[in-house]
Amino acid sequence: MTPVGAGLPATVLCVKRTNRGQTRSHSTQAPTEGPLPRDGFAVLSCPPAFAIIAQRNTMNVFASTASPLSRAIRHGLALSLFAFGHHSLAQPVVQQQPLPLPLDEVRIFTEALDNIRNSYVQPIDDKQLLEFAIKGMLAGLDPHSAYLSTEDYDSLQETTTGEFGGVGIEVGEQDGLIKVITPIDDTPAQRAGILAGDLIIEIDGQLLRELPVNEAVELMRGEIGTTIVIGILREGEPEPLEFTLTREVIEVASVRQRELEPGYAYLRISQFKINTGEEVLEALTAIKAEQPDLKGLVLDLRNNPGGILQASVEVVDAFITDGKIVYTQSRGEEIEMEYFAKPDDPSEGVPVVVLINSGSASAAEIVAGALQDHSRAVIMGTRSFGKGSVQTVMPLTNDRAIKLTTALYFTPNGRSIQAQGIEPDIVVEEGLVTRATGREGITEVNLGGHLRNGNDLDDLVREPVVDAEQVVVSDYQLQEALILLRGINILDSARLGKNQTSTQAPTAGVASTGVADAPQ
C-alpha cells in the first residue's frame, strides 16, 4: 500500500504489533522478536549461512575484477544453494537437500548479461545491471512483490507511519497503465476531483505507458510547493482530463468519526497504519462519550487500500469477543499465523453496518470478511478489490530490501479473498441522493370533515429527528446504511417491548369489515 510511493497499493505488511489480537504462529519464519528494523517492519529471520555466503559472493563479484562477472555469478549461485537449510542462530541446523538450479537457464542469463555489458549502446555498470535483474525477477512473480531501493524503502516507511510528501494518490497497475485505487482524504488529488478508477496516462508531459509503478510514483513526488500536471483517462469522458496539483506534505489521519444523527455515528478508516487499532479504540471512546445512547454505527472502509495486517486484526478485535479473526497460509498450505479475538468488547455490541466498494482492499477486506463471518455486521456496498496476499519486507542491506509475497490470508470461515473480494450482504451502488420536486401529497387530514383520531393530536405534526438530506445528501450508500440501522433499532426495540409507537386493537364487540374507504 503506497500513496505515491514505492510498490503497489493494498499491500498487507507483516509488522510486529499485536496489542490486542492474540497471535499463534506455526512458522519457523515468524516476525522477528526484539526491536524492529527500520521503523517497525517485521522481517523474516535471515539465514546466517546465507548471509555469510552472500557477503563472500559480493566480494568475489564486485571487489575482484580478475575473473569474468558471469563466472562469478555461476560460482555464487552454486554456493548459495547450500544456505537454505538454516533459519536462525537460535535454531538447530536443519540440513535440506540443495535446490536444483536449471543450469541451462543460468548459462542463458550469464550470456545475456555479457551481451548487454559488451554491446549495449551506452556503458552501464555491473551493479546497476544486477539490480535490474533483481527487479525483473520480483516483478515477474506477482503484482505486489518488488525490489525496494533506498528511496523505495524510505517511501514504504513514510506510508506506514502516515506522513509523506506528494499529491495523495493510492496507485496500482492495470494493463500497463497506472490506475488510481483511491485519492487519500483531504489531499491535493482528492480536492482536485481525481477519482478511484481513473487511469494516469501522463505526468508533466511524460507518457506513462508500460512505466513501472515505482517510477511513476517517483515522478509524482517532489519538493513541497511545486506543481505537477497529471493527465487522466476517465470512463465516460471522451477526452483526457488534465489536473494541476501542488505537492504538499501528506499527513494521513487514518481514523475519524462524527455524529450522523442522535444515536447514530460514523467511523471512517482511510487506511491501516501501525497505530490504526489504537485510533479506533480512541474513536469509539469519543463516540460513546458524545452519544451515550448509541444505537448504531457505520464503519466506512470504502476506498481503503489496506495496510498493516496487525492493524486490521486490532480493528476487528474491537468489535468481536471470541473466535478467529484471520489466518495466513504459506507455501504448502501450512497455516503460518492465526489471530484470535480477546473477550473484551470496546464496541459494546452496537449494531454495525460496514461500507465497502471496489477500492476496499487487503486489510480492509480482512476486517469486512471477519465481521461478516462472525455475523457481527451487515456488509453493504459493492464487491471489494480482491487482494488476499501478505507481503513481508526482507532487508538485503541497511537501506535496501525486497517486498515478497509470503502467504495468503483467509477469513475465519476459510474463505480466500484473492482475486474474488468480499461480496456485500446488501448490494448498493454508488449514487447521489436527490429530492423529488412537485406538489405535496394529499393525506386524510387535508380532507374536509375528516374524523378526529380521539387523541387530540390533529394539529400535531411529528417532525423527523433529523432530515436525512442534511446528513448524507451526497452519499447514497451512507444514507442506505443509516436507514438500515434505524430499521434494526426499531426491530430490536419492538422485541424488547420498548417500541414507543402502539397499535390500538379494535374495541371488543365492534365488528370490523376490514374494508377501507378510498379518499373521495
For the annotated catalytic residues, the residue numbers are: 362, 373, 387
Q: With contact defined as beta carbons under 8 Å apart, do 278 and 241 qualify?
A: no
Residue 110 amino acid letter: T
Tell me which amino acid residue 341 is: A
Beta strands in 88-207 (DSSP E): 146-148, 163-166, 169-174, 177-183, 199-203, 206-207
DSSP for 504-518, please give it.
Answer: PPPPTT------PPP
Q: Which amino acid is at 19?
A: N
Instruction: Determine the angle formed by the axes of helices 103-119 and 69-80, rounding to 10 degrees.
Output: 150
Residues 6+ apart with CB under 8 A from 116: 124, 129
Give the separation between CA 192 and CA 32, rounded to whole angstroms: 42
Q: How far is 77 from 57, CA to CA, in rounded Å? A: 9
Judging by beta carbons within 10 Å of its beta carbon (0-12, 13-18, 19+), is residue 427 exposed, middle or buried?
exposed
Instruction: Give residue 491's identity as a one-letter amino acid code.
Output: L
- Interatomic CA distance for residues 295 and 234, integer angstroms: 40
Burial grade of 288 (CB within 10 A; 0-12, 13-18, 19 or more): middle
- The residue whose grid cell reads 447514530 is 264
Identity of residue 244: T
| Beta strand 401-410 pairing with 352-356 | unpaired
Measured from the Cβ of residue 135, the count of other Cβ atoms closer than 10 Å reads 17
Quick one: DSSP state of residue 463? P
* Residue found by looking up cell 476487528 in the block: 316
d(CA 172, CA 472) in angstroms, rounded, equals: 30
